[in-house]
Amino acid sequence: MKIPSINALSTLSRHRLSAALIMLVGLSAQCQASAAPTVHQWANTLTRAHNVGAAKFIGNVDDAQPMFVAVMLNVQNEDLLNSYIHELFRPGSPSQGQFMNSKETTNYFAPTQAQAQAVADYLTQQGFTKVQVADNRMIVSGYATARAARQAFHTDFGRFSRNGKEGFANTSPAQIPTQLSGIVQGVLGLQSLDQMHVMNLRSANEQLKAANPSPAKVTPSSVSTSSGTSYYGDEFAKIYHAGTTPAGTGTDVGIIAFDDVTDTIKDLAQFEKDRGITPVPTSVVLTPQGAANDGDDSGEDEWAMDSQAIVGISGGVKSLTFYAVQNAQTFAAISTAINQAVSDNKARVINMSFGAAEVSSTFGNTYGIYDNLFKLGVAQGQTFSASSGDGGAYPDGSTNGQSYGKTEGVEYPASSPYVIAVGGTNLSADANDNYTGETAWAFSGGGVSQYLSQPTWQNGLVPYGTYRNVPDVAFDAALAGGIYMYLTQEPLTLFGFTFYVPVNGYVSNGGTSLSSPLFVGTWARLESANNNKLGFAPPAIYAYAKNSNGTLANWLHDVTSGSNGPGGSQPGYAAGVGYDNVTGWGSFDIQALNTFIGSTPGFITASNSETSSGTGSN
């Protein structure tokens, strides 16, 4: 059945697709649905055999090995979705800035209920338990034993050891019955050998910890500014010149978080009290792997940095939602958190301070498997922000960054064309928190994706090839000049055991896990100042980064010195005038950018109002 072209979108009242299009899309998708099949033939998914690299095989996986599995489903009418996204950011298009709500993206682009239920029924038949269809029908998740997963996906598993860590991995591709092949995209959760890692210096390897001991605790009542050593979250608003730009109190923000965030919320409240910031309403949304009080505080320093940086530089946001999952470093669990933020469509800006190196992580041919979720977010006017990585141009050297590997590459999800990738700088400011300059941070992740195509908004504006260039922008990341954050306790992992050291004070932190939330808080501030009309950040940033005479826009801090390689045979990339693969376009002068947005109709469209679903209504 022929689906209407993007020209049909010009007939929308605001951004609503016609009832006829709804019917056509729905009927077309339903025709593909089928009941849970009897297995006769198998079809490949995007999930290939896991790349175990130099890992040592240590045995077979026990049949009773528990697994949490997320089956990722295909978007429907993908050409229409791609065209719609293009039109959202094309000046003069009737659809420019006309964001959908989550009910609309689900109706037009998600699998039908019948399709999703067919997958759910199949998993149940294979012995999966707690099978759940996501609200927007993009994921079907459940718990299984290795025996059930082996049978369901026509694969096998082995146990491996690498760098002192053991885990299981699928040793052959994940397949599904041919009757489901048009519905299922890929399968996550079939390996535990490789996981996402956060991008903060306090989670770095022990060598770096020894070289950069924690500074003495500081008391916020003793000084109003931090004199350029590290900065309280609210100081970044002055350094990056928020000026008269209103606080971000009209914009909802999200954080994709791992494990228990109870102490994180308490730490945020203490920071707000100490720095005189109006308390921000917080909430925790649990995904299928979630646990409200699971007792695992190992990510506390990460989420404290994220939340205090966002609230500090934004001056406060409308709400802060933690999409928290237990054991969330697994690719399956993270997918459920990302999808929940998309399905809720509440947060306009969402932070992701984690990633995995393309050259050494799990995805291989499944790289980009979150992209369908991000694309729906873009259509809804959401901006997902990702840390570009803390391994420079060679990110395969450490599971927690801050050390160079041997192979050039970039990290995912920062390499997705549907997120904004934020690199790192060394920030300098005077004693009065006036901006004095930035240089490239030596470990700022950046380079060129091996798998993901260059988005149209990068065409002709980035130096390399036809693949995604990383990062897009950059903010402060260095530990010397990083953030002072309040911590109740600090997790410290030694010899595989995590200990919690009481802090009850302020310590410094850094990494691109700082730069990404600084962007998030900045964009939330700009969204609030412009009635939440901005939507996905990169297209407009790239479109207006240069003036018509070729000079850089006055709202950008161009970072022109430094590199992200150790040198010699591994030079990495050098910062330079304009865009580069260390700092992207650089950082923002917030007030100058807000002034530019207000005087540039093409940046947003006046026809998009806050009463539309661009504010996040479902």
366-404 pLDDT, tens digit each: 678 899 999 999 999 999 999 999 999 999 765 555 678
Distance CA 508, CA 301 (A): 10
Task: Report the pLDDT value the prediction gives residue 202, as an integer from 0 to 100.
Answer: 56
Of all helices (H) and strands (E), which one includes residue 143?
Answer: strand 139-145
Distance CA 66, CA 128 (A): 10
Q: Model confidence at 19, in pLDDT bands (50, 70, 90)?
A: very low
* Local structure of 34: helix, strand or coil: coil
Task: Report the pLDDT value the prediction gives residue 364, as an integer from 0 to 100.
Answer: 52
Please say if 358 is a catalytic residue. Answer: no
Catalytic-labelled residue, pool 353, 513, 516, 528: 513
pLDDT digits (tens, 9 = 90+) for 321-346: 999 987 556 889 999 999 999 999 99
Give long-range contacts, CB 8 A cutoff, 24+ apart: 150-154.
151/126, 151/127, 152/122, 152/123, 152/126, 152/127, 152/128, 152/176, 153/45, 153/47, 153/187, 153/190, 154/42
Distance CA 400, CA 354 (A): 9
Strands 66-73 vs 139-145: parallel, antiparallel or unpaired: antiparallel
Please classify residue 368 by burial: count the beta carbons closer than 10 Å to its beta carbon, then call 0-12 exposed, 13-18 middle and 19+ buried: buried
Q: Model confidence at 190, in pLDDT bands (50, 70, 90)?
A: very high
What Å distances lie between residue 538 and 305, 440, 518, CA to CA? 24, 20, 16
Distance CA 413, CA 396 (A): 15
Task: Report the pLDDT value the prediction gives residue 327, as an integer from 0 to 100.
Answer: 57
Please say if 306 is a catalytic residue. Answer: yes
Q: Model confidence at 13, in pLDDT bands (50, 70, 90)?
A: very low
Percent of the chain past pLDDT 90, that is, above it, reads 67
Q: Model confidence at 258, in pLDDT bands (50, 70, 90)?
A: confident
Distance CA 190, CA 313 (A): 39
Task: Report the pLDDT value the prediction gives residue 243, as an integer from 0 to 100.
Answer: 97
Distance CA 9, CA 80 (A): 10
Task: Report the pLDDT value the prediction gives residue 498, as an integer from 0 to 100.
Answer: 67
Assess whether pLDDT exceeds 50 at residue 360.
Answer: yes
Q: Model confidence at 181, in pLDDT bands (50, 70, 90)?
A: very high
Task: Report the pLDDT value the prediction gives residue 367, as an integer from 0 to 100.
Answer: 72
* Least confident among 16-20, 168-172, 221-225, 568-572: 16-20
Q: Model confidence at 525, in pLDDT bands (50, 70, 90)?
A: very high
pLDDT digits (tens, 9 = 90+) for 308-317: 999 999 999 9
Catalytic-labelled residue, pool 235, 252, 260, 302: 302
User: Which residue would you say has higher pLDDT here, 3 or 338?
Assistant: 338
Task: Report the pLDDT value the prediction gives residue 328, as an integer from 0 to 100.
Answer: 54
Mean pLDDT across 35-53: 77
User: Which residue would you say has higher pLDDT here, 197 or 214?
Assistant: 197
Assess whether pLDDT exceeds 60 at residue 558.
Answer: yes
pLDDT digits (tens, 9 = 90+) for 218-256: 455 444 555 557 999 999 999 999 999 999 999 999 999
Comparing C-alpha atoms, which of 203, 317, 198, 304 is closest to residue 261? 304
What are φ and ψ of residue 352, in 5° steps? -135, 100
> Which residues of the chain form CATH 3.40.50.200?
197-531+539-600
Mean pLDDT across 444-464: 95
H helical segments located in 291-330: 300-314
Assess whether pLDDT exceeds 90 at residue 288.
Answer: no
Rg of the chain (C-alpha set): 23
Comparing C-alpha atoms, which of 254, 241, 243 is closest to residue 282? 254
User: Which residue would you say has higher pLDDT here, 297 or 164?
Assistant: 164
- What class does CATH assign to 197-531+539-600? alpha beta
Q: Is the dihedral of CA 497, 503, 507, 509 positive or negative?
A: positive
Q: Three-state SS string across 11-26, please?
A: HCECCECCHHHHHHHH
The pTM of this model reads 0.90
- Confirm if 187 and 45 have CB atoms less than 8 A apart: yes
Percent of the chain past pLDDT 70, that is, above it, reads 81
Mean pLDDT across 406-416: 93
Mean pLDDT across 546-551: 92
Distance CA 82, CA 86 (A): 6
Catalytic-labelled residue, pool 272, 306, 472, 476: 306
Task: Look up residue 248 and give its two tokens.
Answer: 């971000």
Task: Look up residue 557 and give its two tokens.
Answer: 């801090």
Distance CA 6, CA 88 (A): 11
Distance CA 201, CA 549 (A): 40
Q: Model confidence at 201, in pLDDT bands (50, 70, 90)?
A: low
pLDDT digits (tens, 9 = 90+) for 71-125: 999 999 999 999 999 999 888 888 888 999 999 999 999 999 999 999 999 999 9
Task: Look up residue 583 and give its two tokens.
Answer: 């700092």
Q: Model confidence at 36, in pLDDT bands (50, 70, 90)?
A: very low
- Confirm if 320 and 281 have CB atoms less than 8 A apart: yes
Task: Report the pLDDT value the prediction gives residue 493, as an integer from 0 to 100.
Answer: 63
Task: Establish how many alpha carbons lie within 13 A of residue 457's alpha carbon, considering only the half-sphere containing its beta carbon.
Answer: 23
Q: What is the mean pLDDT of the chain?
A: 85
